[in-house]
Amino acid sequence: MRIFGKAGKAAAVTAIAALALTGCGRDSGTTDGATESGFAQDSLIGVALPQKTSENWVLAEKLFNDGLTEAGFKADVQFANGGVSEQQNQISAMVTKGAKVIIVGAIDGAQLGTQLKQAKDSGATVIAYDRLLLNTENVDYYVAYDNFKVGELQGQALLEGLAKKKPSGPYNIELFAGSPDDANAKVFFDGAMSILKPKIDDGTLKVVSGQTNFEQAVTQGWKAENAQRRADTLLSGSYGTEALDGVLSPNDTLARAVLTSVKAAGKPLPVVTGQDSEVESVKSILAGEQYSTINKDTRALVEHAITMAKGLQAGEELEVNDTKSYNNGVKTVPAYLLEPVIVTSENVKTAYKEDPVLGPLTQ
């Protein structure tokens, strides 16, 4: 299933008639301050977050709590560190408590069908946050950074980093992907491979292990130890005398795991990509170790999700900027996509100027 194709990326700025889709007019006429077609100002907004697999999720929790409360809503923000069934229970509980909007960062976007149906049947609006919700009618919107673009930027950064290292190939590389239950993982990989595959095919890049498929490259649960173990195995199995020049890593946590493995093997550090602008990885870029990361400012993403909740509360039509790319297997989900930014040592000082944590660190 193609959930995000380059061909469908034409960004049509379109206002979608949200109300017809969301059923959020059910509260009209109440005496508790609801507008004609929205819902009461102090309604409950549920936010179901996945596991704490990267810093962005931890930051999102705080930002959602603060931002929703500041907007006058009641916030119910939950992590599901126990896994999919915990997240299913949390969403059901949000429905029972009468949440008007449920924002979901899924652990496994294909396992929430029953709970999302409950949510829609109750009249709530469902927004997929960062990760698409798959194989369900019952998702109204998607808000995320452009995931395919993230992968393209990672692929380009890897090529640039390799060219800086030595002027011509062939370059020995290995490919890492994220967790297969996260809908984003394949999209990141496909985006990167759209750049790297032609170079593999023409011999510029050599995947010495031969592991070029997504299924071979995945990292269950986005766990550092799983990536580190695979890197250890690849290094001992395929890099006896060969040098490892570069590694496609889908995020910072896994990038650091790969670098740890290479250091333990006593090999020269390869060019390694990343994503998320995690503090330790930004420090690593400043120290000349990790090659790149991606800036997907969590504050902007959460802020937009809250703007959507406010719009629904007011009974407004929501703005989306992509109505073609995110087919979830059942429907094409209207999306609001933000632009990811590549960060290397070249722009690390300017990229985080406005960031309260990374700004001071990089100046």
- Minimum CB distance to ligand BGC, residue 184 (Å): 4
Binding to ligand BGC (CB under 6 A) within 74-133 occurs at 130-131
Binding mask 207-226 for ligand BGC (x = CB under 6 A): ---------------x----
List 335's β-bridge partners, or say none. Answer: 142, 322
CB closer to ligand BGC, 57 vs 214: 57
CB atoms within 10 A of CB 9: 14
- Minimum CB distance to ligand BGC, residue 17 (Å): 29
Task: Output phi, psi for 57, to 5 deg.
Answer: -70, -40
CB closer to ligand BGC, 19 vs 305: 305
Kindly indicate which of the ranges 176-184, 191-199, 336-344, 348-356 contains the residues binding ligand BGC, using the contact rule CB under 6 A: 176-184
The distance from CA 149 to its chain's CA centroid, rounded to whole angstroms, is: 11
The distance from CA 111 to its chain's CA centroid, rounded to whole angstroms, is: 18
Contact between 256 and ligand BGC per CB under 6 A: no
- Joined together, the tokens standing for residue 145 give 């950074």
Contact between 61 and ligand BGC per CB under 6 A: no
* Residues 343-363 as b or e (16 or more Cβ within 10 Å = b): bbeeebeebbeebeebeeebe
| # chain residues binding ligand BGC, by CB under 6 A | 13
Contact between 182 and ligand BGC per CB under 6 A: yes
Contact between 190 and ligand BGC per CB under 6 A: no
Residue by residue, DSSP assigns 211-273 as --SHHHH--GGG-HHHHHHHHHHHHHHH-SSSPP-EEE-SSHHHHHHHHHHHHHTTPPPPEE-
Contact between 56 and ligand BGC per CB under 6 A: yes
CB closer to ligand BGC, 178 vs 270: 178
- Joined together, the tokens standing for residue 121 give 């049947």
Kindly indicate which of the ranges 16-24, 49-57, 211-219, 338-346 contains the residues binding ligand BGC, using the contact rule CB under 6 A: 49-57
CB atoms within 10 A of CB 281: 26
Q: What share of the chain is helix, strand, coil (3-state, %, to 5)?
A: 40, 15, 40
Q: Which of 87, 172, 275, 344 binds ligand BGC (CB under 6 A)?
A: 275
CB closer to ligand BGC, 39 vs 352: 352
**Three-state secondary structure call for residue 126:** strand
Binding mask 2-31 for ligand BGC (x = CB under 6 A): ------------------------------
Query: Which residues here bind ligand BGC, judged by CB under 6 A?
Result: 53-54, 56-57, 130-131, 178, 182, 184, 222, 251, 275-276
